[in-house]
Structure 1
């Protein structure tokens, strides 16, 4: 077999030599045609498409909703196709993380928290301009839909929608200062409130701000004026309460800190004492002027809102008096004197309390600001009991923080704090190292609908082109805002010290950050590519350079080295073109890794050819290219085929369809499939080029050398013609050839017993005189948070009968230690079925109350008199059964929710419709994402029939959770296994479901990574063994190589663990390809060993002497090829490719040139060829006639050893 392959290679070399120009032109044309495919390049940057395999369980789960939407023909109740309004949360987010300014700083302190407040306010006010419209966070954030009000209250729905704040998860929600970032943005002028401005609960301010907005008081006032019906119960259940007014203040010395705050600091009783202190120390304060902030509404006097008007008049009059008195008085007429005068006199006829309050309003701010700036002076006029009370920040935040709606929004500690430290073994929080705020982003569909102008809506963006406004433009707005958000925070002033030096404490991250990174990652860095290829050219030219004086010698091969690198480069480009023809998409690996990796591997064969080319030219002048291919081709075959196989292990089967390229891999990750496919194609092109194109180029160089022309400078003749000719023209003497020997056997009469001298101080001299004796010595021979959803797969689920099973399913997932819970042990997030049950319970309570008052006819179920809206809704629901409206026999007997918390089976889907429409804000908060959505229905629609239409069976609904403690891959894998097992258990019980979230999308592959990795390594190892056994026809030798390859793989895996390179699909591919790439360091040595004579030690020495130099050159060229990966801007490339591949090369050299020779000297394959006289070199035969040489150049008499041990003569063809 080996002889047949060498014979074929010899024939190939001769044909290439005879038709060099034709071969070059033909191969270049074919490669150029492949390059044409590069115009169809598509770079994939979607992280999900790059990571999730098509057709697998994960892909089926991710595409479940879209498949349901495409297969179900759902129409709304209005008869026309309904635009489905999502739950609003599109899965996007922005994160800002604040870390300490110096090591050891406790982030749970006044200054860091106030810094976080300022950062949040900047983010909330940050805006971009796109399509001639200004967009802020409030325009794209996730916020609950406002309640749909009827009657006169409907005119205020747009203003209410603007007041409803964004939902963000932040630690400052624990404090009143959290309201500062809520806005609203842009500000709402009090005049925009129309009739709402008449309410006593609306402060006398020009703008509405959450810092002094009392939502429950405003809602109660609105309810008294317009009767908002069941919406009142919503706000009560949501727990909006007094908003932020009753939360502690981070800084009690903030003049705006509300009176409801637990640590409100009342400085008014201390004003007189402070003014005396100020007079003694020459301290002058200017009174605050609030007149510009006060909103004047003339109808107040008409509508007898006297108390508010009097309060404002008192404030205005006394503030003016105080200011004027301060400005016009002298030292004796100081602030204290002014206060005394005001308290003692009543110039305007107002009572003393109003005047005192006005004075307090004017001067409390200046006094508090002075105290905040001079804390060391407090002791001079205050006793400790009068000091302001700063909260125990750690205690306040230890149980998490509530959102603006305390009843449904609560942020556990794990979601908002990082690096928490506790006191001893207890649970009391002591400090933290990071604050984290998360801004939830609305879906493009929600933003589109939010500003789509419809009848009765006035909230459409000013200047927005409604004709062109689309969901795609909404998505563009979201992405541009997120990108600018990241850029703004990255350059934030808090990230630099006073001298402008970088000191990062604010760290931004957006859901677009990964896509942007991949987009940048996927761009070719031509500068690095050119530098990398330039270094390779310099190295290749330098290693092949031979000078004759100041000019290149005719024996130099610099031109061939240059041509070799260009050949490999062109082959790689052509391979990428063919890969594009096949539909293999480019990704980050294509642009950052493949060019350098294939270059480094591809030039190895070039160095092997050039190394033997020098020897062939010294020893023969006939059939040089054929002999070169025969003697070197076997090594090229072994290394190239195994390199290609190693990448095919990541891509065992390739299917090409008309639409796209479908791949199945042992490591089922599309990005790695593409990487492996492209690498195998490029290496195949390199293999073809090195066997056809490059030998043709060598044959042209051969003519130059025979003509005695200098290298590179071909127009200049080198040594004298006789001298040059004597170097290449030798008598034709045939000697016995060792099968597969890598050295030519056409030699001169020079005594073969004498080894040729090597140049001193050369690499070859080091090997022969020091390294080979060394390996023959006996001593050497012995010597954080993740969101997730639990998706319920319909529509073949009976939600009514399985409602408690759904509860159990949620509780089972919540029992995991990785799920964030409240202090009561409940999941941190409410879910739709529980919210719907609470709503029905509140309706039942109102219904029972009206029932006790006798407002229902228990016989026929009719109403006797007017009832509350909640009771009316309950009555409609009790009478609605499917598509039938029947009250008789149900009123007073059927309950919406019984004592076992079971929702009535008969009307479950009718109730679902009512809850979705009447409690719509809760639906948004629940993030249920119903599909199909229930039909529209409203209790206030007088024209609609009393029947509440049933909702269609839900094909898709989800339950939200937040995960924590996922600090590393093993922990995440443990979580996935635990959650998956819970989901599978309920699937077996008849509740189809699956988990969904970032952790499941990007870590699912790790579940079977180890088994897949072992399988892949086993496959490639077996393939290498079979290929080498066939090519060398020697399983023993193949086994020697396989042992070294396994050792190399184990050593590389150990190095990765030591270097902190985590095991993931990317590093797994590196391990797999290490098996094939390792053949580069072993096949040459073993082949030379097999074709040598003597004992195992003598054959080992001979093999090392022959191949050490080309193996080193090949290793260094590969290292040089991947060297540029070390200059990548992406740490991932440096760590997972440059470091690992560099380690692989070093490990390959150590094992291939140290361990393998030792192994061969101990357990190497038996000798295949030996001389009759027992010498390590064969005797010279008599000279042959030139005609015999030309007729049968390859016929050589060899002595083979049969199994019985008796020698015999054999003619090898």
Structure 2
């Protein structure tokens, strides 16, 4: 069985097989689409003619409306909260977060600052006294951070998160505990005496040196104060929490340290501890019962032996917990330190963010450049700063991109012949698209749709590409108007030929973006809605305002003025009009008559070739359609772009008499039953 030839090898006049559908079925199936297309093109033709008659008014009102919408950018809000951006609406995560805030309140939240240490050489064991000593150096530098705001100094001891301070009947002991109560710091240094160095605060008792966690032995202190005060409640509290000797009973990383307490297990032996053995199973804070830090919170890249004992690790991590802005505000509300600064929750948040930024800066600078270890500091404010910086609109990038598009549009549309040059149209089109994008984003801001990184970094360039594509289509179609088109119908003819394609493309884009808004991720939903609105504004600008620009450019060409510099007349065209009205062209042999003139027949399967081979179909279509009015003011009927001219035996002269003109020259030799738009005609 012979295979059918490819489409490129089909003859210009295609002969259908014997089992093809009847001409009556083909004619009936094409009537509804052709009528709908004709009706829509008629509306676009009337719209274009109206815009051309009032091009100045349309341009002024359009620019005024888009400019007013662009002012909405003043109230735009950029969302950088990860929870608000990427937590699915109605998901289990959002429900649990809402439940936690509802039951425990905002006060239960805290912020985490992490200090991560890794070796420069990958795979190196970090469980050594030297590596932990470098970690202590970085953690100490971070814990000593102080910032000055509102005339006050803020350090870690003031803003860190602390578990509930117990109430003691003895006022002196209560004040001492309040000053000494430690911050919650999850660190591998808590397995050693050096963990006490990260805790600030000190207390004074007569006859004793300043009490700090580096020299505090709670059991010894109770023995010394027992004869002078009733401390049974305090003793019971320490026993329940299993405080014991706190930090002074733990081994020293460096036994040679002069401040290493005598109660340390390796104080007298002066032997360095086995770090892996001490860290096996995790570490404890000052309370062995309530403050147990698991290994996973302290170490990374762990390796164990067959018995499950820790052998090595590749990373160390310390976590500093800070109060939330609400907690910090409540803690210092009414305090003598803040009564004169109008203390508020916003000020508390400012203090926390400033401290966190300084924490990251000093921690990363703590180790020397030639150190064998590297420190990575991270805080919630750091992430917010990164998101905020990435979400900010880069004016240089946006302006540079639009300037490049301006230059491209101007250069590609400039011609030596003023009748064909459209450099000013290209410049005006790109500027109009930029204004449409700004107005769309302003409308989104007025509707309360928050911006995000995708909005500021992607959407302006995406909308520019979509809008400029339609601008180029309309501008090119405007210069390719059919010969003999009246001057007052140029804009209407342009919209009739390309408006359908532009409208369908823009509507498809808007529908696609609106459908994407069904995704329950807030960031993607906001981006989809904003993209749909911006594409809609682009569509309105291209279909309503840009035709007015084309009409003004047509007036410029008719007045024989230069392109771009339209205030000057063109000396080279004074002898001929810039917009000549060419006489109707006669079709060359082997050409196909279309609504826009004639074109060469191509050896491929098209509707033109199919209907050209069916005389009965041509007759049926011609009888069904009949002669159609073609002027701009004619409301009923089909536009010129869908004329179906049929060569009926002996009937051509009668049709010519009914139409009153012969727009396409002498008798045609083929039939075009399809509406040839701009892309097909420009091939």
1:658-1057 alignment runs, 5 A limit = 666-714=518-566, 715-717=568-570, 719-721=572-574, 725=578, 728-732=580-584, 745-747=595-597, 752-753=599-600
CA distance in structure 2 between the partners assigned to 1:264 and 1:415 by the alignment: 28
Does the aligned pair in 2 maintain the 1:616–1:744 contact within 8 Å?
no
Deviations 1:949-1002 (A, max 9, x none): xxxxxxxxxxxxxxxxxxxxxxxxxxxxxxxxxxxxxxxxxxxxxxxxxxxxxx
Deviation at 1:704?
A: 2.4
Q: Structure 1 pair 87/145, CA: closer, same or farther in 2 (3 Å)? A: farther
| 1:440 aligned onto 2:293 | no
Deviation at 1:464?
A: 3.4
CA distance in structure 1 between the partners assigned to 2:120 and 2:457 by the alignment: 35
Q: Structure 1 pair 497/14, CA: closer, same or farther in 2 (3 Å)? A: farther
Q: Structure 1 pair 449/613, CA: closer, same or farther in 2 (3 Å)? A: closer
| 1:40 aligned onto 2:59 | no
Does the aligned pair in 2 maintain the 1:171–1:416 contact within 8 Å?
yes
Deviation at 1:680?
A: 0.9
- What SS does structure 2 have at the residue aligned with 1:691? helix
| 1:136 aligned onto 2:155 | yes
Deviation at 1:146?
A: 2.9
Deviation at 1:224?
A: 4.8
Q: Structure 1 pair 679/619, CA: closer, same or farther in 2 (3 Å)? A: farther
Query: Partner residue of 2:348?
Result: 474
- What SS does structure 1 have at the residue aligned with 2:205? helix
Does the aligned pair in 1 maintain the 2:612–2:672 contact within 8 Å?
no
1:559-574 alignment runs, 5 A limit = 559-574=424-439
Select the residue among 242, 245, 248 that pairs with 2:248.
245
Select the residue among 290, 296, 306 that pairs with 1:414.
296
1:152-551 alignment runs, 5 A limit = 153-184=170-201, 187-188=202-203, 192-194=204-206, 197=207, 205=209, 207-266=210-269, 388-422=270-304, 427-452=308-333, 463-465=337-339, 468-490=342-364, 492-494=365-367, 496-497=369-370, 505-547=374-416
- What SS does structure 1 have at the residue aligned with 2:110? strand
Query: Partner residue of 1:1095?
Result: 604
CA distance in structure 1 between the partners assigned to 2:573 and 2:564 by the alignment: 18
CA distance in structure 1 between the partners assigned to 2:326 and 2:580 by the alignment: 78
| 1:106 aligned onto 2:125 | yes
Query: Partner residue of 1:630?
Result: 496
1:1148-1187 alignment runs, 5 A limit = 1170-1172=611-613
Query: Partner residue of 1:96?
Result: 115
CA distance in structure 2 between the partners assigned to 1:744 and 1:248 by the alignment: 96
CA distance in structure 2 between the partners assigned to 1:134 and 1:1198 by the alignment: 90
CA distance in structure 2 between the partners assigned to 1:216 and 1:54 by the alignment: 53
Q: Structure 1 pair 117/559, CA: closer, same or farther in 2 (3 Å)? A: same
Query: Partner residue of 2:510?
Result: 644
Deviation at 1:445?
A: 4.3
Deviation at 1:644?
A: 0.8
Does the aligned pair in 1 maintain the 2:131–2:373 contact within 8 Å?
no
Structure 2 gaps, min length 5: 1-35, 616-628, 648-669, 677-683
CA distance in structure 2 between the partners assigned to 1:158 and 1:446 by the alignment: 21
Q: Structure 1 pair 734/238, CA: closer, same or farther in 2 (3 Å)? A: farther
Higher relative contact order (CA 8 A, sep 6+): 2
Deviation at 1:225?
A: 3.5
CA distance in structure 1 between the partners assigned to 2:48 and 2:484 by the alignment: 17
CA distance in structure 2 between the partners assigned to 1:479 and 1:650 by the alignment: 36
Q: Structure 1 pair 718/472, CA: closer, same or farther in 2 (3 Å)? A: same
CA distance in structure 1 between the partners assigned to 2:148 and 2:461 by the alignment: 41
CA distance in structure 2 between the partners assigned to 1:179 and 1:439 by the alignment: 14
Q: Structure 1 pair 111/539, CA: closer, same or farther in 2 (3 Å)? A: farther
- What SS does structure 1 have at the residue aligned with 2:48? helix
Q: Structure 1 pair 465/432, CA: closer, same or farther in 2 (3 Å)? A: same
Q: Structure 1 pair 619/231, CA: closer, same or farther in 2 (3 Å)? A: farther
- What SS does structure 2 have at the residue aligned with 1:407? coil
CA distance in structure 2 between the partners assigned to 1:465 and 1:21 by the alignment: 63
Query: Partner residue of 2:37?
Result: 2
Deviation at 1:721?
A: 4.4
Deviation at 1:101?
A: 3.3
Query: Partner residue of 1:125?
Result: 144
CA distance in structure 1 between the partners assigned to 2:431 and 2:320 by the alignment: 51
CA distance in structure 2 between the partners assigned to 1:238 and 1:480 by the alignment: 34
The TM-score with structure 2 as length reference comes to 0.78
Q: Structure 1 pair 728/1172, CA: closer, same or farther in 2 (3 Å)? A: farther
- What SS does structure 2 have at the residue aligned with 1:516? helix
Does the aligned pair in 2 maintain the 1:495–1:504 contact within 8 Å?
no
CA distance in structure 2 between the partners assigned to 1:505 and 1:439 by the alignment: 18
1:1110-1149 alignment runs, 5 A limit = none
- What SS does structure 1 have at the residue aligned with 2:376? strand
Equivalent residues, number: 598
Q: Structure 1 pair 617/393, CA: closer, same or farther in 2 (3 Å)? A: farther
Query: Partner residue of 1:791?
Result: none
CA distance in structure 1 between the partners assigned to 2:273 and 2:316 by the alignment: 17
- What SS does structure 2 have at the residue aligned with 1:208? coil
Does the aligned pair in 2 maintain the 1:142–1:167 contact within 8 Å?
yes
CA distance in structure 1 between the partners assigned to 2:123 and 2:672 by the alignment: 84
| 1:1197 aligned onto 2:652 | no
Does the aligned pair in 2 maintain the 1:594–1:679 contact within 8 Å?
yes
Q: Structure 1 pair 438/1211, CA: closer, same or farther in 2 (3 Å)? A: closer
Q: Structure 1 pair 713/393, CA: closer, same or farther in 2 (3 Å)? A: same
Q: Structure 1 pair 735/1172, CA: closer, same or farther in 2 (3 Å)? A: farther
Deviation at 1:702?
A: 1.7
Query: Partner residue of 2:650?
Result: none
Does the aligned pair in 2 maintain the 1:735–1:746 contact within 8 Å?
no
CA distance in structure 2 between the partners assigned to 1:127 and 1:12 by the alignment: 68
Q: Structure 1 pair 472/605, CA: closer, same or farther in 2 (3 Å)? A: closer
CA distance in structure 1 between the partners assigned to 2:674 and 2:216 by the alignment: 103
Does the aligned pair in 2 maintain the 1:710–1:718 contact within 8 Å?
no
Deviation at 1:466?
A: 5.8
Query: Partner residue of 2:453?
Result: 588
CA distance in structure 2 between the partners assigned to 1:483 and 1:236 by the alignment: 39
Structure 1 gaps, min length 5: 70-85, 267-387, 454-459, 652-665, 755-1092, 1100-1165, 1175-1186, 1201-1206
Q: Structure 1 pair 540/618, CA: closer, same or farther in 2 (3 Å)? A: farther
Does the aligned pair in 2 maintain the 1:707–1:721 contact within 8 Å?
no
| 1:19 aligned onto 2:54 | yes
- What SS does structure 1 have at the residue aligned with 2:481? helix
Deviation at 1:562?
A: 0.9
Does the aligned pair in 2 maintain the 1:45–1:515 contact within 8 Å?
yes
Q: Structure 1 pair 1168/12, CA: closer, same or farther in 2 (3 Å)? A: farther
| 1:31 aligned onto 2:59 | no
Q: Structure 1 pair 389/1094, CA: closer, same or farther in 2 (3 Å)? A: same
Deviations 1:999-1049 (A, max 9, x none): xxxxxxxxxxxxxxxxxxxxxxxxxxxxxxxxxxxxxxxxxxxxxxxxxxx
Does the aligned pair in 2 maintain the 1:46–1:515 contact within 8 Å?
yes
Does the aligned pair in 2 maintain the 1:1172–1:1199 contact within 8 Å?
no
Q: Structure 1 pair 23/264, CA: closer, same or farther in 2 (3 Å)? A: same
Deviation at 1:493?
A: 4.6
Deviations 1:565-590 (A, max 9, x none): 11111111111222223222333333
